[in-house]
Amino acid sequence: MKKYICEFVGTFALTFFACGVAVTVGCDTPAGVIATALAFGLVIVAMAYSIGNVSGCHINPAVSLAMLLNKKMTAEDFVGYVIAQVLGAFAGSAMLGYVLGDFSKLGANGFNESAFLAIVVEVVLTFFFVLAILGVTSKKENGHVTGIVIGLSLVLVHLFGIGLTGTSVNPARSLAPAILQGGLATRQVWVFIIAPLIGGALAALFHKHVLEDK
């Protein structure tokens, strides 16, 4: 249960703080985009060095799926992790809406172009993000820099993707704000559930068959 509680807390922090920055600062200016990207990355860094030693700090179903496919976690733990992540995201989004006094803007993802283009963007972004995670966590000697590498990788994909989809790369982070925010976000959220899972799975397969020594 400690692992699941940590995943709940970590995903709560991601949706509350990072999505909170996106909402309060806005992403309409270069400064807002940079601030939001840094917020997502910094939350990952903070959580990686606080809960990482217990749960691995996935706080993302796409990451957990990659770990499952690479046999780094059991199916039972995968289900537990995803449930904890989704619940944490809903709790974080609900708290954000309560603090702001407005549930109409919770940092939900969205797209103006075609759904296909959004899927392509999210698959590519998630692939490289999860690949970075698998790479840096594959060697124990990287332990002291793991959180920094993962956090900066998340900053990178956000800098590119915010203007296109808002950058999801995380089904739990997208589902909760979309459901609580409602409207168009709810109708588009399926893209931000399917695409990151595909990207995570592709990263797991690439790492397993191309990058692993065994």
Q: Is the pLDDT of residue 214 over 70?
A: no
Q: Which helix (H) or strand (E) holds 198?
A: helix 184-206
Q: How many domains does the chain have?
A: 1
Q: Is the pLDDT of residue 213 over 80?
A: no
CA–CA separation, 55 and 35 (whole Å)? 27
Which pLDDT tens digit goes with each residue over 153-188? Answer: 999 999 999 999 999 999 999 999 999 999 999 999
- Mean pLDDT estimate for the chain: 94
Work out the burial of residue 191: count CB atoms within 10 Å of its CB; fewer than 13 is exposed, 13-18 middle, 19 or more buried.
buried
The boundaries of the domain holding residue 157 are 2-211
Which pLDDT tens digit goes with each residue over 135-154? Answer: 998 888 877 898 999 999 99
Q: If you compute the radius of gyration of the chain from its CA atoms, what whole number of angstroms results?
A: 16
Q: What's the CATH number where 101 sits? A: 1.20.1080.10
| Predicted TM-score (pTM) above 0.85 | yes
Extended beta strands in the chain, E state: none
